[in-house]
């Protein structure tokens, strides 16, 4: 009987998940601390074990699982009907449950209102929510990001994958030498699922030829795209079709690297074009006028390329975008500031925004223990204030 | 008076008579309240001029001790979407007041931050629940409130407090708190407050937490520590041609001071005139700034628009037209 190896050998417990000890510990801690944080996002490239880890966590803790993945329609109405009640009602068969929203980056245009509804569910849920996605830094996931604990799953190294392949081969009576497993492991680029699939399909192949150009490495292709865009002068209307990266993500890469490549007039022109691309993107977001996507695309490609009067030469080292990460780290660091500002704002009939802006001036006032008592500041919040006494 | 160690609350007036400044507005609202003839109000004016305070006084006069049950305060700048109007406002407006006053009061602070859709929803709500509910809206600029909403309200325009008003308030608070205030400190507080009473009192309390003897030097020091710094540094980097440091600094400033892109653009627009560049270029940069501010409203990513403005400053630093 034909049986898919990937499903057959899917890890069902923590001990079967190899090379992800850090992520396992993080997930276990999250479940222990619940409801301190109500949701968790497992992110990482394909085949690193995100879904397996979510299931393993449920099995280890004897939780029921409610899973919705990209094959299900996940618009607002659907989530309201299925997930919202499930997030409040007790589990029928087990002592608790976990809600698994697989591939949240797959919640797309047709799933209208899906993300905002998910946000609301996170607020009210009585059970832990685990989400998985490849790229957690996409702008559409920003609202979920701020409400969730983030756990990254790193691609497995070649040695680990080789070892896993060897064990499966042993059980399946596939007699191949270690060189064969290593080749498959290298080809997989850290994607265990791809490796296991390859093992199954190449098991009886005489000569395994590994074509290195077959590697699908997103990092590499964005560098090629940037090099073309910044060095050459061309229309580049189809340039972004060659990558799986979203237009928003490419936008951030371009933004990060414009000043590394362009100076003076070219710098101004390039940012003018990128700014125009953003204006169209704003209109798309606001009115859902997807028609404007072509304009965003053109300003983001041809607009950038033609910003310079002539082609550029030489090697440039491009940087990965840092802004989104920087903002996120900052917000993590100052989350307490915001909760303090909220309490204070309510008390003095003022907006949180204004209090955040005047926070430094107000600090000596909030440092007064009497005031802290009156605002019902938590011990963590007081600790934050003490640590940031200027 | 509320007992609190936060002076802006401790000394917030709770009677019409205690209010300083805005005399004409106080006189008219008082007579309307006494006649129990309250229309919808729109209070327009800068921050810290008494809009929230007057709203609170109105409800306290109307409902006495039970004011909290008959009053809903929402800050639109924190909850600006249509959901707020559809849910919170409607739920509250639907039910009748508990006291012998025939209506409740909703105070919608910073209503100019409401989205257009939310304002449209508000317009209908104001009409439908006119029997059970009165609205007091506050805003900085009445022009940002939809015309049909304005026409349903009696509009009062609050002015910045004058120096004598701020000084009077400072004198009262200082007296009750047992502070000694030097004559020049009054000037310093007024200058730093820019006519914003909340800021004046906060400044006084922050300074008093250091010393009970308050003078101008201390006020200026505390005021400077609470002032958003850094925009000038951002521009200086750009003018010197160091774009990358300029934008890194900009992100730091925005995160650290928690200021939005539109705050930044306002600061840049003001700062242009203090920069060591040719006046013609200043005019050009101002034009560019205006254009970027406009794009910011249309676009989705303020930071990208700001970078495009900084790029122009790089050219300006070389004396080139932008």
Expressed as residue numbers, the domain containing A60 is 5-152
Q: What is the pLDDT of residue A208?
A: 61
Distance CA B60, CA B107 (A): 13
Instruction: Show which of residues 135-164 on chain B sit within 8 Å of chain A, judged by CB atoms.
Output: none
Q: Report the CATH number that the domain containing residue B300 is assigned in CATH.
A: 1.20.272.10
Which one of B304, B307, B320 would you mutate to disrupt binding with A, by most A Cβ within 10 Å of its Cβ? B304
- CB < 8 Å to A264, chain B: 314-315, 318, 320
Handedness of CA A240, A241, A245, A249 (dihedral sign): positive
pLDDT band of B91, cuts 50, 70, 90: confident
Helix (H/G/I), strand (E/B), else coil: A151: strand
Closest chain A residue to B203 measured between Cα atoms? A361
- CB < 8 Å to A365, chain B: 5-7, 202, 205-206, 209
Neighbours of A40 (CB within 10 A): 23
Residue ending a domain, choose from A110, A130, A152 = A152
Task: For chain B, say whether A278 makes contact (Cβ under 8 Å).
Answer: yes
Distance CA A387, CA B7 (A): 24
Residues A43 and A138 in one domain: yes
Q: What is the pLDDT of residue A222?
A: 87
Query: Who among A271, A279, A285 is closest to B307 (CB)?
Result: A271
- CB < 8 Å to B77, chain A: 351-354
The answer, yes or no, to whether residue B223 has pLDDT greater than 90, is no
Whether B10 is covered by a domain: the verdict is no
Residue ending a domain, choose from A178, A194, A212 = A212
Q: Report the CATH number that the domain containing residue A28 is assigned in CATH.
A: 3.40.50.300
Q: What is the pLDDT of residue A365?
A: 92
Residue ending a domain, choose from B189, B207, B225 = B225
- Token output for A38: 């109500």
Total domains present in chain B = 3
- CB < 8 Å to A263, chain B: 314
Q: What is the pLDDT of residues A323-372, one digit of tens each?
A: 988 888 888 888 889 999 999 998 999 999 889 888 888 999 999 999 99
Q: What is the pLDDT of residues B8-48, one digit of tens each?
A: 999 999 999 999 999 999 999 999 998 887 889 999 999 99
Residues A174 and A201 in one domain: yes
Place of tokens 């362009």: A262
Length of chain A in residues, anyone? 390
Whether A314 is covered by a domain: the verdict is no
Quick check: B295 and A279 CB within 8 A? yes
pLDDT band of A290, cuts 50, 70, 90: confident
Residues A370 and A281 in one domain: no
Residues B135 and B170 in one domain: no
Quick check: A362 and B311 CB within 8 A? no
pLDDT band of B2, cuts 50, 70, 90: very low
Residues B130 and B184 in one domain: no
Residue ending a domain, choose from B202, B225, B248 = B225
Tell me what the mean pLDDT of segment B91-105 comes to.
Answer: 82
Whether A310 is covered by a domain: the verdict is no
Residues A274 and A333 in one domain: no
Task: For chain B, say whether A362 makes contact (Cβ under 8 Å).
Answer: yes
Query: What DSSP character marks residue A245?
Result: S
Residues B149 and B49 in one domain: yes
Instruction: Show which of residues 217-276 on chain A sit within 8 Å of chain B, judged by CB atoms.
Output: 251, 255, 258-260, 263-265, 267-268, 270-272, 274-275
The answer, yes or no, to whether residue A207 has pLDDT greater than 80, is no
How far from B239 is each of A263, B178, B262, B320, CA to CA, in Å?
13, 49, 21, 11
pLDDT band of B309, cuts 50, 70, 90: very high
Quick check: A323 and B251 CB within 8 A? yes
Expressed as residue numbers, the domain containing B96 is 22-157
Structural contact between residues B16 and B30, judged by C-beta atoms closer than 8 angstroms: yes
Structural contact between residues A364 and B229, judged by C-beta atoms closer than 8 angstroms: no
Whether A318 is covered by a domain: the verdict is no
Q: What is the pLDDT of residues B69-87, one digit of tens each?
A: 899 998 888 877 777 777 7
Residues A20 and A146 in one domain: yes
ipTM of model = 0.77
Task: For chain A, say whether B291 makes contact (Cβ under 8 Å).
Answer: no
Residues B125 and B183 in one domain: no
Task: For chain A, say whether B82 makes contact (Cβ under 8 Å).
Answer: no
Residues B121 and B247 in one domain: no
Closest chain B residue to A344 measured between Cα atoms? B6
Residue ending a domain, choose from B176, B192, B225 = B225
Whether B8 is covered by a domain: the verdict is no
Whether B271 is covered by a domain: the verdict is yes
Residues A46 and A87 in one domain: yes
Total domains present in chain A = 4
The answer, yes or no, to whether residue A217 has pLDDT greater than 60, is no
pLDDT band of A215, cuts 50, 70, 90: very low
Whether B7 is covered by a domain: the verdict is no
Question: ∠ at Cα B239 (A320, B301), nearest 5°?
Answer: 45
- CB < 8 Å to A327, chain B: 251, 255
Whether B286 is covered by a domain: the verdict is yes
Whether A317 is covered by a domain: the verdict is no
Beta-carbon contacts below 8 Å between A and B:
146
């Amino acid at each position: 009987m034909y049986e898919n190896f990937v499903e057959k050998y899917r890890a069902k417990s923590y001990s079967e998940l190899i090379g992800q000890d850090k992520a396992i510990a993080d997930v276990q801690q999250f479940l222990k601390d619940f409801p301190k944080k109500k949701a968790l996002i497992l992110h990482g490239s394909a085949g690193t074990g995100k879904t397996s880890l979510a299931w393993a966590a449920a099995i280890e803790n004897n939780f029921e699982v409610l899973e919705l993945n990209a094959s299900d329609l996940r618009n607002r109405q659907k989530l309201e009907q299925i997930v919202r009640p499930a997030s409040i009602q007790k589990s029928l068969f087990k002592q608790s449950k976990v809600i698994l929203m697989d591939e949240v980056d797959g919640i797309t245009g047709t799933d209208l209102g899906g993300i905002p509804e998910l946000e609301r569910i996170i607020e009210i849920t009585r059970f832990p929510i685990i989400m998985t996605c490849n790229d957690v830094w996409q702008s559409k996931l920003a609202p979920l990001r701020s409400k969730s604990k983030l756990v990254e799953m790193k691609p497995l190294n070649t040695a680990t994958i080789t070892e896993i392949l060897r064990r499966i081969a042993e059980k399946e009576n596939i007699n191949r030498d270690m060189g064969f497993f290593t080749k498959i492991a290298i080809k997989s680029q850290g994607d265990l699922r791809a490796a296991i699939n390859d093992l199954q399909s190449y098991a009886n192949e005489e000569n395994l030829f590994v074509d290195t150009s077959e590697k699908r490495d997103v990092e590499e292709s964005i560098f090629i795209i940037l090099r073309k865009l910044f060095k050459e002068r061309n229309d580049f209307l189809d340039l972004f079709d060659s990558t799986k990266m979203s237009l928003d993500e490419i936008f951030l890469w371009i933004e990060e690297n414009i000043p590394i490549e362009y100076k003076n007039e070219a710098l101004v022109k390039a940012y003018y074009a990128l700014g125009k691309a953003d204006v169209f993107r704003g209109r798309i977001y606001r009115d859902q006028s997807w028609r404007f996507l072509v304009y965003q695309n053109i300003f983001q490609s041809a607009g950038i390329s033609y910003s310079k009067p002539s082609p550029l030469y030489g090697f440039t080292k491009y940087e990965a975008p840092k802004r989104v990460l920087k903002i996120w780290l900052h917000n993590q660091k100052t989350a307490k500031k915001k909760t303090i500002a909220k309490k204070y704002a309510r008390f003095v009939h003022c907006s949180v925004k204004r209090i955040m802006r005047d926070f430094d001036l107000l600090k000596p006032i909030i440092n007064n223990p009497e005031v802290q008592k009156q605002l019902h500041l938590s011990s963590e919040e007081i600790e934050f204030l003490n640590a940031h006494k200027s | 008076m509320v007992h609190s160690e936060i002076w802006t609350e401790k000394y917030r007036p709770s009677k019409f008579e205690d209010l300083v400044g805005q005399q004409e507005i106080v006189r008219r609202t008082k007579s309307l309240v006494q006649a129990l003839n309250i229309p919808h109000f729109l209070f327009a004016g800068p921050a810290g001029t008494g809009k929230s305070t007057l709203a609170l006084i109105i409800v306290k006069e109307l409902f006495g001790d039970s004011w909290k049950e008959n009053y809903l305060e929402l800050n639109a700048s924190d909850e600006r979407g249509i959901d707020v109007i559809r849910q919170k406002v409607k739920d509250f407006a639907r039910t009748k007041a508990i006291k012998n006053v025939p209506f409740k009061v909703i105070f919608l602070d910073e209503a100019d931050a409401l989205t257009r859709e939310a304002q449209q929803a508000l317009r209908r709500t104001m009409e439908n629940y006119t029997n059970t509910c009165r609205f007091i809206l506050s805003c900085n600029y009445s022009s940002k409130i939809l015309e049909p909403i304005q026409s349903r309200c009696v509009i009062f325009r609050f002015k910045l407090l004058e120096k004598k008003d701020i000084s009077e308030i400072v004198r009262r608070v200082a007296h009750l708190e047992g502070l000694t205030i030097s004559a020049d400190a009054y000037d310093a507080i007024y200058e730093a407050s820019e006519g914003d009473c909340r800021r004046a009192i906060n400044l006084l309390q922050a300074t008093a937490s250091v010393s009970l003897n308050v003078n101008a030097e201390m006020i200026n020091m505390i005021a400077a520590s609470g002032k958003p710094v850094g925009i000038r540094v951002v521009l200086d980097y750009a003018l010197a041609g160091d774009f990358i440091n300029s934008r890194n600094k900009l992100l730091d400033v925005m995160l650290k001071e928690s200021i939005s892109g539109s705050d930044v653009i306002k600061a840049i627009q003001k700062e242009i005139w203090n920069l060591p560049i040719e006046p013609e270029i200043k005019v050009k940069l101002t034009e560019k700034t205006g254009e970027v501010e406009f794009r910011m409203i249309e676009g989705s990513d303020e930071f990208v628009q700001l970078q495009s403005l900084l790029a122009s400053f790089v050219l300006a630093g070389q004396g080139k037209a932008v």
